[in-house]
A and B are shown apart, each in its own frame.
Chain A
């Protein structure tokens, strides 16, 4: 299940520069967004020769005139091409299957979170003579929809599900709390989904945040109070990967008898277990003083 981000968040970067930013972020590659037509093919060729890790190609629209060129890009680079939902009617699906099968490429048809439509698209793909040349790109919008049917949708798509485009994640992770992303990822894992997950902004207005997110590899913040017996630390705005270090640094900065007042947006019991496993027995006291559901507060006193 490789993780990619759409190149649309920094369209001015070359695929190579974008790839470097993805690498620093620990991402497995990019979704290369192309204009269709010959310009798109030329851009895809440049990206390919630069060595950038392109996990999927995105055509912003599907013009039937461009189908042979897109199929050729997909075949030459060995990655699927995805298109947004509602670009073609189901009656056009057989012809697309033939074109992509002939070229040896794969087209992933965009599909919204709609169980009936997902079933209809899956049936249309199966009814073609070349079902392997087609697949489904599920467009998931946790900020705008409820993902209560995730299990049924994954079942309906079956192994036709080639790609999940998640409108969120990245810097929007925290905004999508309780919107079904966790259960969705668990279901995808258990269904042995192998395709890429492509992250994209949920709204164009969020582009600046995404650009800042891609460009940053660390962030930390530690609010030191004036009272030497008290240290306040709110890790909600600290990147998840930097939180533990921030908390442990703060804890180790405490003098005997001083208390760390922690504010987090998840159950802090993992911190308790970590301190219990890493610190000398009886060297601290841990109290959870606010128990969610939005905010948890814990007080850790060093003895």
Chain B
């Protein structure tokens, strides 16, 4: 099956995190998506840790300098 990719670069700032959590929450357990961003989204990781502890895995696929890709998987 084709992978899920969410490019957050074009989403208005206020909607970025809600869009990411909306995508994550819609995934079935064991599935993941690749988040694409123009900076290191580590604040988001802290927010995930605080609001969805133990429910996700975070793997950097590409780390700049212009593009960051993170595979965010939902624990099964």
Contact = CB atoms under 8 A, between A and B. Distances in A.
Interface string A8-21: 00000000000000
B57 interface: no
Interface in A187-231: 189-190, 192, 194, 197, 199, 217
Contacts of A265: 13-14
B47 to A, nearest CB: 5
A186 B37 contact: no
B23 A267 contact: no
B30 interface: no
A185 B47 contact: no
Contacts of A277: 46, 49
Interface in B7-48: 7-19, 22-23, 26-27, 33, 36-40, 42-44, 46-47
Nearest to A277: B46
Best-buried of B15, B18, B47, B49 by chain A (most CB within 10 Å): B15
Contact of A174 (B12, B36, B37, B38): B12
Interface residues of B, number: 38
Interface residues of A, number: 46
Contacts of A169: 9-10
B43 A271 contact: yes
A25 B33 CA distance: 23
B66 A181 contact: no
Contacts, number: 123
B76 interface: no
A26 B6 CA distance: 15
A286 B26 CA distance: 31
B49 A273 contact: yes
B48 to A, nearest CB: 9
A240 B19 contact: no
Interface in A154-192: 166, 168-170, 173-174, 176-179, 181-183, 185-186, 189-190, 192
Given A181-B15, A244-B39, A170 B10 contact: yes
A244 B1 CA distance: 35
A1 B37 CA distance: 12
Interface of A: 1, 3, 23-26, 166, 168-170, 173-174, 176-179, 181-183, 185-186, 189-190, 192, 194, 197, 199, 217, 239-244, 264-267, 269-271, 273-274, 276-277, 292
10 contacts: A1-B7, A3-B7, A3-B9, A181-B11, A183-B15, A190-B23, A197-B7, A199-B10, A244-B43, A273-B47
